[in-house]
Chain A
């Protein structure tokens, strides 16, 4: 026995929660969309950690969830890179303050 008596499940969930909270903090303090993209990737890292317990219950489903997470992250990167390019072309910058409202203009 080394250190406090903590299960590896608790260690993983605490680590996942900590990374997720840091990612949230990064997202709300971001001043440009690049930092927003990086914070979203951190959130996916937290999700990847959170699915480790599923490997002890149903490994095929856990692998499938991991693959879906990887695909979703790749697609999210694709969409955000496109959004960054469009924002830079239209607004001549990538700051989040350049986006006043979401959705289509009336």
Chain B
């Protein structure tokens, strides 16, 4: 394991620890904060590969927009205990993780080398219609959500 892989492993370890914090905390507010921290460590892994556009996407959209909205909603509904971990589900999860880890360490032996990280500018032209359709989808969903929210009686 070289120093780059070690940095990625440490960031991944902190990301998994933050996600376990989401599972274990009883308060929705802290769960949302742990979720945002997990996103930041995922962005750190992207930064370790020098994929800066995705770091910006994660920081702005996932942490800045989605994360903050989730934190705000979670802060509104934080009164009750909102999770109950069933111990019988923990065992199969650990078994599945052990199988995954064994398979990945034995089969995924080649390291990733990110090529041409500067091609982000070409995405807007190569995938123009995909991005245009996605914008249309978000606007349509937003209008539908507003219509649904206004139609339901108080």
Name A's B-contacting residues (CB within 8 A).
Answer: 1-15, 17-19, 21-26, 28-32, 34-35, 37-39, 41-42, 44-45, 48-49, 52-53, 55-56, 59-60, 63-64, 66-68, 70-71, 73-75, 77-79, 81-82, 84-86, 89-90, 94-95
Q: Which among B69, B122, B138, B154 is the interface contact of A89 at CB below 8 angstroms?
A: B154
Cβ contacts A to B, 19 pairs, < 8 Å: A3-B6, A6-B5, A9-B110, A13-B108, A17-B100, A26-B23, A29-B89, A32-B28, A41-B35, A53-B112, A55-B115, A59-B117, A60-B119, A60-B122, A60-B126, A63-B119, A66-B54, A67-B131, A79-B145
Q: How many residue pairs, one in A and one in B, have C-beta atoms under 8 Å apart?
A: 248
Q: From DSSP, what is the main secondary structure of chain A's interface residues?
A: helix
Name B's A-contacting residues (CB within 8 A).
Answer: 1-6, 8-9, 12-13, 15-16, 19-20, 22-23, 28, 31-32, 35, 38-39, 42, 45-46, 49, 51, 53-54, 57-58, 61-62, 65-67, 69-70, 73-74, 77, 80-86, 89-90, 93, 96-97, 100-101, 104-105, 108-117, 119-120, 122-123, 126-127, 130-131, 134, 137-138, 141-142, 145, 148-149, 152-154
The residues of B that contact A7 with a CB separation of less than 8 Å are 5, 108-112
How far in angstroms is the closest Cβ of chain A from B56?
A: 11
How far in angstroms is the closest Cβ of chain B from A69?
A: 9
**Given A21-B97, A39-B22; A15-B3 close (CB under 8 Å):** no
Q: Which among B1, B42, B69, B123 is the interface contact of A45 at CB below 8 angstroms?
A: B42
Q: Which among B15, B81, B145 is the interface contact of A82 at CB below 8 angstroms?
A: B145
